[in-house]
Amino acid sequence: MSEDMKLVTTERVEKYLDITKRARAKATSLCEEGSADAQKLAVMMRMADDYASDAAHFLSIGDHVRAFGAINYAHAWIDAGVKIGFLDGHGDDVLFTLP
């Protein structure tokens, strides 16, 4: 592994912030409005949004490691929503792990 692959740089975190932002925008709910599943999905998306916000904050203070961890958690919440069928990933196997 090259030395640059071992570093958590601003550019690397920004790349994953962008990927997660695109995933959040692309994924759409498959849950019936007002259903228990829709309420669960709302919690999941709130977690994704909170972790993405945390990542941006950590990046702004130069804490690249925590920023990288937080943005990966954010994306995982969105990806999990697709994987369990609460979100439609629209066939995008780059942004999501499809069912």
pLDDT confidence of residue 87: 98
Q: Is residue 8 part of a domain?
A: no
**pLDDT band of 69, cuts 50, 70, 90:** very high
Q: Is residue 92 part of a domain?
A: yes
Q: Tell me the sheet residues that pair with 88.
A: 28
Q: Is residue 17 part of a domain?
A: no
Question: What are the angstrom distances between the C-alpha of 93 and each of 39, 48, 65, 97?
Answer: 26, 19, 26, 6
pLDDT value at 65 more than 90: yes
CATH of the domain at 79: 1.20.1270
60, 52 Cβ separation under 8 angstroms = no
| Residue 54: domain span | 31-99
